[in-house]
A and B are shown apart, each in its own frame.
Chain A
Amino acid sequence: SQQGEEDPQALSIQEGENATMNCSYKTSINNLQWYRQNSGRGLVHLILIRSNEREKHSGRLRVTLDTSKKSSSLLITASRAADTASYFCATGDFGNEKLTFGTGTRLTIIP
């Protein structure tokens, strides 16, 4: 079963604009991670935020986590054509040694 629901399901923006994706989850978590997947290939880890952290940055990526609302957002600034991909959130749940993935957001950057 899916733990995370991502919103929106699909997003198209112009190159250079910022892209924001949201993830909601249901249970208590140890950490939340974001991954990128280029068309039908393996996933690439982008960033991990722990349950006691509220914000984290990595290059053009900014992730926030609100455990009271059970939600997270991923912001990609100054988007590039190479950012076109599907983005997934995944939660590391207490009591399980596994990740549960969300439904994903398909991001298209228009040159």
Chain B
Amino acid sequence: KAGVTQTPRYLIKTRGQQVTLSCSPISGHRSVSWYQQTPGQGLQFLFEYFSETQRNKGNFPGRFSGRQFSNSRSEMNVSTLELGDSALYLCASSLYSGMNEQFFGPGTRLTVL
């Protein structure tokens, strides 16, 4: 099976812009989780989607949003970008649950200037 893919791999934006990141899970996986990784805060949970519904949400402002499509592909959107949003954004998929074994994609490196 193909692994989790994320696009784009690298992105440079300026403050105030918005960005959309995409994640394609492993075929058959219905749960998709998103994480933000920064040197200062480490790995922080953003949200988890299961069957097109947001099942869990981390402690991030409303500028961070996501959705999941019927084929389990997921997107996350960050509006009104801030310098502090610069991070590695990781997507992970699993069969049924965001707390079981997660299969991670390579990540999208977002730089906000």
Contacts and interface: CB of A to CB of B under 8 A. Distances in A.
Interface string B30-67: 01010100000011010010100001101100000000
Interface residues of A, number: 25
B interface, by DSSP: helix, strand, loop or mixed? strand
A103 B98 CA distance: 19
Nearest to B43: A101
A43 B104 contact: yes
Given A101-B42, A104-B42, A42 B101 contact: no
B45 to A, nearest CB: 5
B104 A99 contact: no
Nearest to A92: B99
A interface, by DSSP: helix, strand, loop or mixed? strand
Interface in A22-51: 30-31, 33, 35, 40-45, 48
B97 to A, nearest CB: 5
Interface stretch (B12-20, B71-79, B105-113): B105-113
Nearest to A6: B42
A92 B33 CA distance: 13
Most chain B beta-carbon neighbours within 10 Å: one of A31, A101, A102: A101
B4 interface: yes
A88 B100 contact: no
A16 B109 CA distance: 34
Nearest to A43: B104
Interface of A: 1-2, 30-31, 33, 35, 40-45, 48, 88, 92-93, 96-104
